[in-house]
């Protein structure tokens, strides 16, 4: 009887442990949020941020989770970092008060409020984006979300790609509209490992 009780307890504890939420720290070397915006109605300018930190919490059994990321605005990179003629580069302009105002607002952040599942897969993420000190809702569509063993190290990991569209004027970033479009496509691409 005692042996049976112990066996049942072990099974219960194992199933509870496997169903517990898993915490993952974002790997800054493989996670780069990026943006795309129409320029002069003719082309698309793209850029990325080179520094992001954060975490993912995932409870597959309960079909719930969270995403919390912090992006260093001064790490913006659009392919025009420095000019030899001494004029201001695009990256310098983006860091200035017309755009990300990195001196006053060194971080932008995204904090989820809900993971939306379709079957066993994460379909979208509801949450809030904070930019220039203003917080607004932003829904991200998840194009990929997979957890499993790293193919080389065999350690557990998660990878995700999510994208959303925002109006930058909603956050007070009005410079250049409409020549530089108001609508911006934001992509958050991450790899993460257990904490």
Tens-place pLDDT, residues 109-120: 999 999 999 999
DSSP 178: T
- What are the helix (H) ranges across 96-141? none
Domains and CATH numbers, the chain: 21-194 (2.40.128.110)
Q: Which neighbouring-strand residues pair with 59?
A: 64
Per-residue pLDDT of the chain (195 residues; tens, 9 = 90+): 444 443 434 443 444 345 689 999 999 999 999 999 999 999 999 999 999 999 999 998 999 999 999 999 999 999 998 888 889 999 999 999 999 999 999 999 999 999 999 999 999 999 999 999 999 999 999 999 999 999 999 999 999 999 999 999 999 999 999 999 999 999 999 999 999
Residue 37, SS3 per DSSP: strand
Cis peptide before 178 (omega within 30 of 0): yes
């Amino acid at each position: 009887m005692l042996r049976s009780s112990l066996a049942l307890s072990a099974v219960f504890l194992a199933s509870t442990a496997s169903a517990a939420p898993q915490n993952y720290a974002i790997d800054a070397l493989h996670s780069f949020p990026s943006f795309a915006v129409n320029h002069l109605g003719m082309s698309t300018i793209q850029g990325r941020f080179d520094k992001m930190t954060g975490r993912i919490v995932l409870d597959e059994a309960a079909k719930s989770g969270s995403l919390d990321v912090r992006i260093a605005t001064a790490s913006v990179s659009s392919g025009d970092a420095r000019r030899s003629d001494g004029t201001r580069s695009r990256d310098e302009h983006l860091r200035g008060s017309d755009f990300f105002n990195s001196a006053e607002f060194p971080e932008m952040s995204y904090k989820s409020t809900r993971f939306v599942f379709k079957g066993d897969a994460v379909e979208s993420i509801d949450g809030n984006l904070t930019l220039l000190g203003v917080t607004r809702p932003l829904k991200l569509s998840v194009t990929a979300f997979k957890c499993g063993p790293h193919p080389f190290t065999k350690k557990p990991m998660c990878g995700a790609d999510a994208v959303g569209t925002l109006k930058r004027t909603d956050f007070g970033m009005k410079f250049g509209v409409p020549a530089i479009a108001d609508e911006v496509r934001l992509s958050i691409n991450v790899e993460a490992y257990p904490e």
